[in-house]
Every structure is written in structure tokens, then in C-alpha cells.
Structure 1
């Protein structure tokens, strides 16, 4: 009986590891889609990775913005045209998945004609209605 329980436990742990690996790939794919949308100058598509809720939190150098629309409006104000947006690159340093939430740590960089700003980000993702969404973004 103990051997059966041990085998079941090992099999279940492999399933959890495989599932977490699959979820990491999904999140990384969403972030690649964000890069593409940004680099096409499409902020609305870029924002589809974010939770469309007033509870969304975006933390940047100017403090905390609450809500999806406020975050989009802030992006539009700061990155008013393609030249200001430049070319975005995400370097994902780690993705940690825990059931229906994930924590992503990485570096962002923009390549523009006049400069090349960069910084770091931490993202808290939640699985909402079966889809991964960013619920907290802290970018600096």
C-alpha cells in the first residue's frame, strides 16, 4: 500500500511540474505578443494582457495607477507616437507559477533613435476566467 501511495505521489508531482511548465510557456507567449503589439504601435493590443478591472495596479516612477483604463491612458500620454514607443524587448528572468497565480521578474528595454531606456519589472499574474492576466505591474 505504501508503495502505491508513493508511486501516486510521484506521478502527481510530475503532473504539477508539467502543468507549471505549460503555464510558464503560456505566460511567456503572452509577453511575446505584448512585445509584438508594442512594436507595431498598438497599445490597445498590448494592454490585452492586463486585467480589465479598476482593481488593476500599475506601479511606476510616478506612483500607483489604479485601473485598466487609467493605465492605458498613461501609456498613451507617455508613449504618444511610434517614435516615443521605440522597439520593446522583454528579458524574462524568472517565472514562478503557483496554481492560479504567477510571479514574473524581468528586464525591459526600449530601442529608440534618441535613447535606449531600460529598467526592471515584477508582474503578478492571476488566472481569471481561465486566462492569465497581469493584475499588478511594478516597472521601474
Structure 2
């Protein structure tokens, strides 16, 4: 869309410049005051040079005015790249820790299964006194 608008503006402007040049071929005297020189140049050439100089000067001023913006964009681009690298590093650390945690859980599950298996094969005996949960009273040496 932007390109279409550019063409819609530039083509009529170029046609206007060509028509102007064809209709203004008579000579104009250009007095270069500090140098004490005078030049006879066609009017269309003089105005085309002035128009071109204005376009170039406007471009230079616009480019210089956007210097701070370009600098800020470079800084943001650098900060974004640093953040992307840090994020990649953190994701790698997270993946490593998750793999380590999975390994630990597997070991715990295996140990728990072995413990259950060992409990199932051992016979548990109650206390010899016949009363569960009570320890025999110590006897005094009186």
C-alpha cells in the first residue's frame, strides 16, 4: 500500500517537473555575489538544481534528527539479544534440572518398591511380653 501511495505522488511530480522544464527554456542570469561571477543558465536547470539541493538538505536534516532514535533502537536490539541468550541459558538449566529431578524420582520409586518388596517377605514379630507398646519396667537393686 505504501509503495502505491509513493507511486501516486512521485509520478505526477515527475511529470510536472518535465512539463516545467519544457516550458521554461529561456536563460536566467545567476549572480554569485561573493565571487563576483554571473552565469546564464536555463531557468528549468536552475530550479531543478535548487529543488534537488532542497531534497538532499532535507534528507540530511531528517537523518541527523533521527540519530537518537537509531541509537535507542540499537541499544534495545542489543538488550533484546542479551535477554534471548539469558532465556536460552535458563531454559537449558531448567531442562537439565527437570531431567535430574526425573532421575531422582525414578530412584526413589525404585527404592520404595524394593522396600515394599522387602517388607512383604519379612515376618514381623510382636513384643515378647505379650503387651504391645509397653516396655518392661527396670528393676531396682535394693
- TM-score, with structure 2 as normaliser: 0.29
Larger strand share, 1 or 2: 1
Larger helix share, 1 or 2: 2
Larger Rg over CA atoms: 2
| Greater relative CO (CA pairs within 8 A, separation 6+) | 1
